[in-house]
Structure formats: C-alpha cells, structure tokens
Amino acid sequence: MNHGPVHPGEPPIINNADEPDRRGVLKFFSIVLGGIAAAAAGVPVLGYFFGPVTRMLRDKWVDIGAIDEFPTGQTRIVDFENPVRRPWDGVSGKSAAYVRRTGPGEFKVFAINCTHLGCPVSWFPQSGLFLCPCHGGVYYADGERASGPPPRGLYEYAARIEKGRLQILTGHLPTLNDPPSIATEKRA
C-alpha cells in the first residue's frame, strides 16, 4: 500500500458549527425546491405518458361506400381508413366492418372484433354465421351471440346514409366497456 495512491479514507467529521436555524433553512429549501423541481419536470412527463388516456377523441363519421354496393339481405365486408390513423400507421391504420343490408334503406354495421377478446370474426354466408378463430365464439347473421364464450352479440356501429353513401361512426377499438359510440347528433 506504500506506493498506492493516497486513500481519501474516512472524511474527517467536521463538527458542524452552523447555527441550527441555518440548517433548518437548508433543509426547508432542499425539500421545497426539490419538490417543485420534481413536479415541474414530472407533471409534463406524466401528462405526456398518459396523453392517449386524457385526450379522449370523439368518434367520427366515416364513409364506407355507396349503398348500392350492398345487396339487400346480404352481409359484406368493407375496408376503410381508420379516422384516427397517423401518417405512419401503414396497413395497421386500416379497419374493416361487416355491412348487412336488411332493407332498402336499413343497414346494420358490425365491428369485426369478437366481443370475447377482440379477435377478427369471419362471416360465412353459406351458414349465416360469424365464427371467431381464437376461442370459437359464434354469432348469428343479425349479430346475436349464438354460442361460445362471447358475453354479448357483435358490436354495432351507428350508421347513416348521406347522399346515397353509407357512413358509420367509428374511431376507437370497440371493447366490452367501451362499445362503438351511439349517434347523438340529429341526421342532417
């Protein structure tokens, strides 16, 4: 150890001669300023992180095609661009829905997401059933639950006809406690 560098060793214990009130002031400021600094930096950080939660976007009406594209009594799948998509979403910004035309001006539009755990259901026109590939949920053509684990029928989008084109109110992933929005505005 003779040639080694000087070890700092234990720092000498300096008998703190500061007056008690100065110590109190330092303690007070270190805590208060530290708290303010943490809040100043932390609030925006948390606000940013929870931005997707606090920024509740309202669903929008999306055009999904001319009504003539949908034969009465049949169910067709339509693709559309998600209204909340980002420019860099790529194909993941697309979305799809099942359109069932029940009458000349009557449409039922179902989300593709199974109400069990959200997997995409497939429509089988031959048997008139929607089948889910994940856990075997089955729905009838009118969206009602037929069998399997789903707790309810298929999610249905609010639909309206504008100048011969079908529109649906969409913009968020439908889940059990947050199904598609109900149309509140009056039809124009």
Partner 1 sequence: MNRIARQIGGWFEARLGIAQALRPILGHRTPRGAKWWYVFGSATLTLFLIQVVTGILLAMVYVPSGDQAYESLQYLNYTQELGWFLRALHNTAASGMVVMLVIHMTQVFLMGAFKYPRELTWLFGVGLLAITMGMAFTGQVLRWDQDAYWGVGVGSAMAGRLPIIGPYMVRLICSGPTIGGETLSRFFALHVFVLPGTLILLVVGHLYLVLRLGISSPPVAGKPVDPKTYDAEYERELANGVTFYPNPIRRDMIFSALTVIVIVALAAMIGPMGPGEPPDPTIIKSDPRPDWEFLPLFGLLALSPAPLEPVAIFGVPAIIGLVLILIPFVGSKGERSPRRRPVAVLSVILFFTTAGVLGWLGHTSPWSPVMDAWSGLPVPERMVKNLRPLELQGAAVFQVKTCRNCHALDGIGGERGPDLTKVATKLTHDELIRQVIQGGGLMPAFGSRLSPAEIDAMVAFLETLRPPGEPPARSAVTARR
Partner 2 sequence: MSQCVRFITRCMALPLACVISSGCDRPDPANRPLRPSEVLDFGVLYAQNCSGCHGADGKLGPAPPLNDSLFLAMASDADLQRVIAEGRPGTPMSAFARSAGGGLTPQQVTAIVSGMRSKWSAATTRPAAPLSPYLTQVGHGTATAGAAVFSRNCAICHGANGEGASKAGAVNSPAFLALITDQALRRIVITGRPDLGMPDYQHAADGAARPTPLNEQEISDVVALLASWRQTAAQQSGQVAQAAGASR
75 binds, among partner 1, partner 2, none (CB under 5 to 8 A by kind): partner 2
Contact yes or no for 121/112 (Cβ under 8 A): yes
Structure tokens that stand for 113 in this block: 């997401």
Return the sign of the alpha-carbon dihedral for residues 176, 178, 184, 185: negative
**Residues of 110-119 as b/e, b for ≥16 C-beta within 10 angstroms?**
bbbbbbbebe
Site pattern 144..183 for partner 1 (x: CB under 8 A): --xxxx-x-------------------xxx-xxxx-----
Count of CB atoms situated within 10 Å of the CB of 152:
13
Tell which one of 60, 61, 65, 76 touches partner 2 (CB under 8 A): 76
What residues from 109 to 138 belong to the interface with partner 2 (CB under 8 A)? 125-126
Contact footprint for partner 1 (CB under 8 A): 3-5, 50, 52-53, 56-57, 77, 79, 82, 84-86, 88-96, 112-113, 116-124, 126-129, 131-136, 138, 140, 146-149, 151, 171-173, 175-178
